[in-house]
Amino acid sequence: MSDFHETPQRSPVSARLPVIALAGNPNCGKTTLFNLLTGAHQHVGNWPGVTVERRSGTMTMGRRKISVVDLPGVYSLMGGGGEDQRVARDFLLDSDIELIVNIVDASNLERHMALTAELLETGRPMVLVLNMVDEAEAHGLQVRSHELSAALGVPVIPIVARKARSRTRLMETLTQALDHPALGNMLDYGQLIEAALTALGTLLPGVPPAHRRFTALCLLEGNSDPTDPKTQHALQQISSELAVMSDETPADLIMDRRFAWAQEMAAIAMHRQGPAGLRQKITDRLDRVVLNDWLGVPLFLAVLYLVFVVSFSGGNIFLDFFDQASAALLIHGVGHLLLSSGLPTWLISIIAGGIGGGLNLVISFIPPIGLTFLFLAFLDDSGYMARAAYAMDRLMRRMSLPGNALVPMVIGFGCNVPAIMGSRIIEDPRGRILTVLMQPFMSCSARLTIYMAFAVVFFRSNGGQVVFALYVLGIIVALLTAWLLGKTALRGEVLPFVMELPPYRLPSFRSVFLQAWQRLKVFIFRVGRVIAVIGVVLFILPGIGWTDRGLRSTDIDHSLLAQGSRALVPIFEPMGIHQDNWPAISGLIAGAAAKEIVIGTLNGIYQRQNAADLMADYRDPDIAGQLLGAIKTIPANAVTFFTTLDDPLGLSAMDSTGTAEQASGAESATLQAIAAGFTPLSAFAYLVFVLLYVPCASTMGALRREVGWGWMSFSLLYGTGLAWSASTVIYQSSTFAKHPGHSAAWIAGVLAAFALLVVGLRLYGQRRDALSKPSLNRRASA
Amino acid sequence: MDSFIMNSSITSPSESLFIGDLHLGDHARVLEITGGKVMRQRLGMLGIRRDTPVRVVHGPGKRGAVLQVGGARVALGWGVIQRIRVAIIPAESTHTGEKT
């Protein structure tokens, strides 16, 4: 029915199609409406500022195609807000748009109508969509859309976008509005301002007549500066006269009239039928708990903890099924088919063992990752996240961050790239850079696959706690990084917290499922894209090596991959990686491109190292039996899950974990090889390195786009250095008794390097402050 | 330009308070925002401007306050609530469409 694409850089739509732009305040349901019209399923959260860049899709009505552009929420066309709001403003004011669809929240109409007034001033055809009428009705309000339509002079449609109510009617209205555009009734600012607008308009000959009124309004409100001295002089004169005549500044007069108009329109559109229902009482009671001074922060940490422990434990119910079923089909089934078709064994081992095995390990982790996404989607939709940002604001402020930096941090649990993009909601450039630089330390879903593979081997009984500890460590490092930079290289004041708290909503299953699926789909398909990298790593590098006779085909232990990884092992020895565990280094190298392929790389290498007869499993596999066995694991694991519900922390198993012997029961050859290559301590140090070093090439690209080459390079070096330092300190301090002198030297070296870094950052900050002072002086004198 | 004071019919500026001085549940009307143009613009976007009736639904405390403004709830940090001068009004004079 429709298609969808992101258009961050290039022209958003085809010139042949008419363009509909969706505009409205943050959190009014634009993206839900976009999904409804185009069929795309974008991530929609119940917090302000989820969409940070414009996206376009196509709506089809009969044979007619219409381009629909979803814009970030914007409170005013006159200025203010973060980078995301600037994107929306620029598009609405400067692009070729056939129709603006202004979406407003019917339950908070007065506030949303102020933007409607500004959109009418642009002189473009408009349709007003009254969204969330169900919530307005729940508050005892009756919607009178015909009366509002008559007052505005544009079509008005009441809908409930979340429930897909009135979709057909809406699409029909939009196509009719394209054929018969309605410009609407601009509001009358009163005699004084209207006369000033007319006078200013005559002084703007370079501006098209349709835009003169809007440009004059911007000038009078002080949101733009005149380009020529004549207009500047006239503006000053008109402003002074207005101030004398009305005892108010023109900006105040305009804002007063605009808000009074919004109040009038809201009164026309809404008729109170009865008292507010239960909803307001529920909001009051929930807010008393969620925003409580003492409970707010612990509650947020408890919620995050439950999300990850329940996701891990609950995901375990299906983990073995996904693991065994995908192994039966993708490894043994595909291997058998290829063997039967007579392909050479080296090719079969690459396709079935390498690519199939890599996919098998990633597919195994779909249940816990899918559950994590489901929980996060539930939190998104419930209205809790904006409150958590407020609850965390004081703590974040101490780290030199605004409270809404929490929003991208939570997005970062899914993927660091949208989290970096999501930092655009932060208005203050300094706060935005700090927030962006924190994101690489947030544990994304790809890292979760690595944690879980190691947790299964070394920490099976308390894997949830270990994974949670890594998540918390990532958050702590991210916050400390912001604090350090905020005190040294990026000193400055944090903008005070101002944020709208969306209403609490019981998330619909459809919305939560779609959001979770959207994120899971990105995770799964990203693996598909990078599987090509695995192919190259597994096919070329392990098969050839540098010999006395030059580059020749060799076994894996003498291959280029082994030679390169072994050369790097001395760097990683202080964190517990030894010469014979060189595949761990290969995994890290592959992980710099994408974390999804770390386990796949290890899988391929260990399989080639260990298997004497790689084809044995493919000759006569009992696929049906394996699938049946996989199904039987579900009830067995469910029983384990429910019988350990009284011990959600897994404390009873703490003393029996952490030994490599546990891994002897692991079915996968890769997991057995991991168990042989690491100790629990070196495994944990390795996981800390994975957490902190370069997230992936895509994240680095997003960093470069958002904060430039300089800060991207800093993030790369700082993250990798910190990863090595933290892992080394963890390993050396835990083995201190064995070699005190050696360990003390490493730890002292790390501390000295860190001290040097702090000095360097302070010097950079001082230089930056010194450079900014003259420019401030220049601006002040100007 | 950075500061403006309106003539309130409810109370004179000398009797006014900042939001930080209010109590939970108090109804008030905004008289003045003393934080400069950027602050006024940020608050104006969320419907908080002079003459706006508000109700304190959380705080005020060290973290800040949450205000009911019309049909919306707006969380404000400590640095903001000390820059919004208000006058207390009786509960029944609030007429912003708030769902009470």
CB count in 10 Å sphere of residue A607:
22
Q: Which of B56, B67, B73 to mutate to test the interface with A (most CBs of A within 10 A)?
A: B73
pLDDT of amino acid A647: 52
> Tell me: the pLDDT tens digits for A293-316?
888 889 988 887 777 677 767 777
pLDDT of amino acid A779: 40
Q: Minimal Cα–Cα distance from A153 to chain B, Å?
A: 23
A87 plus A235 within the same structural domain:
no
pLDDT of amino acid A270: 85
**Confidence at A432, pLDDT banded by 50, 70, 90:** confident
Are A498 and B80 in contact by the 8 Å Cβ rule? The answer is yes
Question: What per-residue string of b and e applies to A286-319 under the rule 16 or more CB within 10 Å gives b?
Answer: ebeebbeeeebbebbeeebbebbbbbbbbbbbbb
How far apart are the two ends of chain B, measured CA to CA in Å?
Answer: 36
**Confidence at A534, pLDDT banded by 50, 70, 90:** low
Q: Among the three residues A272, A289, A312, which one is the final residue of a domain in this structure? A: A272
A329 plus A215 within the same structural domain:
no
A142 plus A215 within the same structural domain:
no
Task: Give the nearest partner residue to B66 out of A114, A501, A503, using CB atoms.
Answer: A501
Contacts of A108 in chain B (CB under 8 A): 70-72
User: What is the pTM for the complete model shown?
Assistant: 0.74
A575 plus A699 within the same structural domain:
yes
Inter-residue long-range contacts of A417-422, CB under 8 Å, 24+ positions, other chains counted:
A417/A698, A417/A699, A417/A702, A418/A43, A420/A699, A420/A702, A420/A703, A420/A706, A421/A52, A421/A53, A421/A702, A421/A706, A422/A49, A422/A50, A422/A52
A243 plus A221 within the same structural domain:
yes
Q: Which residue has the higher pLDDT, A12 or A229?
A: A229
A227 plus A130 within the same structural domain:
no
> Over chain B, what is the mean pLDDT?
77
Asked if B77 lies within 8 A of A498 by C-beta distance, the reply is yes
Report yes or no: B5 at the A interface, CB cutoff 8 Å: no
A158 plus A221 within the same structural domain:
no
pLDDT of amino acid A4: 41
Of the listed ranges A105-109, A228-232, B92-96, the one predicted with least confidence: B92-96
Tell the residue number behind the tokens 């001085």, with chain if given. B21
Close Cβ partners of B96 (under 8 Å, ≥ 6 residues apart): A110, B52, B53, B69, B70, B71
pLDDT of amino acid A659: 37
Q: Among the three residues A701, A718, A734, which one is the final residue of a domain in this structure? A: A734
pLDDT of A726 above 80: yes
pLDDT of amino acid A576: 92
Asked if B77 lies within 8 A of A255 by C-beta distance, the reply is no
> Tell me: the pLDDT tens digits for A7-44?
444 444 445 688 999 999 888 888 788 888 887 645 44
Q: Minimal Cα–Cα distance from B46 to chain A, Å?
A: 7
> Over chain A, what is the mean pLDDT?
81
With respect to residue A744, please indicate whether it lies within any of the assigned structural domains.
no
DSSP state at residue A160:
B
pLDDT of amino acid A12: 46
A135 plus A262 within the same structural domain:
no
Pick the residue from chain A with its C-alpha nearest to B2: A249
Cα angle B86, B91, B93; round to 5: 80
Asked if B63 lies within 8 A of A390 by C-beta distance, the reply is yes
Task: Look up the CATH number of domain B13-92.
Answer: 2.30.30.90
Q: Which residue has the higher pLDDT, A39 or A144?
A: A144
Percent residues over pLDDT 90 in chain A: 22
Asked if B45 lies within 8 A of A75 by C-beta distance, the reply is yes
Asked if B62 lies within 8 A of A252 by C-beta distance, the reply is no
Contacts of B38 in chain A (CB under 8 A): 80
A219 plus A313 within the same structural domain:
no
Asked if B45 lies within 8 A of A499 by C-beta distance, the reply is no
pLDDT of amino acid A661: 37
Close Cβ partners of A603 (under 8 Å, ≥ 6 residues apart): A354, A357, A358, A360, A361, A670
Q: Minimal Cα–Cα distance from B50 to chain A, Å?
A: 9
Question: Can you list the positions of beta strands (E) in A386-529?
Answer: 498-501
Cα angle A477, A384, A437; round to 5: 25
Size of interface A-B (CB pairs under 8 A): 123
Domain-wise residue ranges, chain B: 13-92
A361 plus A450 within the same structural domain:
yes
**Confidence at B56, pLDDT banded by 50, 70, 90:** very high
pLDDT of amino acid A396: 85
pLDDT of A456 above 90: no
What value does the mean pLDDT take over residues A705-730?
Answer: 93
Q: Which residue has the higher pLDDT, A164 or B61?
A: B61
CB count in 10 Å sphere of residue A629:
15
pLDDT of A777 above 50: no
A567 plus A707 within the same structural domain:
yes
pLDDT of amino acid B16: 65
What value does the mean pLDDT take over residues A630-653?
Answer: 70
Domain harbouring A197, CATH code: 1.10.287.1770
pLDDT of amino acid A32: 82
pLDDT of amino acid A688: 96
Report yes or no: B100 at the A interface, CB cutoff 8 Å: yes
**Confidence at A769, pLDDT banded by 50, 70, 90:** confident
Q: Which residue has the higher pLDDT, A391 or A689?
A: A689
Enclosing domain of residue A637: 297-496+506-734
What value does the mean pLDDT take over residues B78-85?
Answer: 90
With respect to residue A287, please indicate whether it lies within any of the assigned structural domains.
no
Inter-residue long-range contacts of A172-177, CB under 8 Å, 24+ positions, other chains counted:
A172/A61, A173/A127, A174/A20, A174/A37, A174/A59, A174/A61, A174/A66, A174/A99, A174/A101, A174/A127, A175/A61, A175/A64, A175/A66, A177/A99, A177/A125, A177/A127
Domain harbouring A34, CATH code: 3.40.50.300
With respect to residue A740, please indicate whether it lies within any of the assigned structural domains.
no
Task: Give the nearest partner residue to B75 out of A78, A288, A390, using CB atoms.
Answer: A390
Pick the residue from chain A with its C-alpha nearest to B95: A263
What value does the mean pLDDT take over residues A256-281?
Answer: 82
pLDDT of amino acid A721: 96
Q: Minimal Cα–Cα distance from B30 to chain A, Å?
A: 13
**Confidence at A528, pLDDT banded by 50, 70, 90:** low
Residues in chain A: 782
Are A406 and A419 in contact by the 8 Å Cβ rule? The answer is no
Asked if A498 lies within 8 A of B100 by C-beta distance, the reply is no
The answer to whether ipTM exceeds 0.90 is no
B73 beta partners: A501, B68
Of the listed ranges A282-291, A602-611, A756-765, the one predicted with least confidence: A602-611
What value does the mean pLDDT take over residues A492-500?
Answer: 82
Percent residues over pLDDT 70 in chain A: 87
pLDDT of amino acid A652: 47
Residues 17-76 of B with CB under 8 A from A: 35, 37-39, 41-47, 49-51, 57-58, 61-64, 66, 69-76
Contacts of B42 in chain A (CB under 8 A): 80-81, 427, 498
pLDDT of amino acid A20: 92
Q: Which of A27, A84, A108, A505 to mutate to test the interface with B (most CBs of B within 10 A)?
A: A108
Asked if B58 lies within 8 A of A114 by C-beta distance, the reply is no
A599 plus A480 within the same structural domain:
yes
Are A673 and A603 in contact by the 8 Å Cβ rule? The answer is no
Cα angle A472, A476, A481; round to 5: 150
pLDDT of amino acid A757: 95
Per the structure, how many domains does chain A have? 3
> Tell me: the pLDDT tens digits for A546-562?
777 777 777 778 888 88
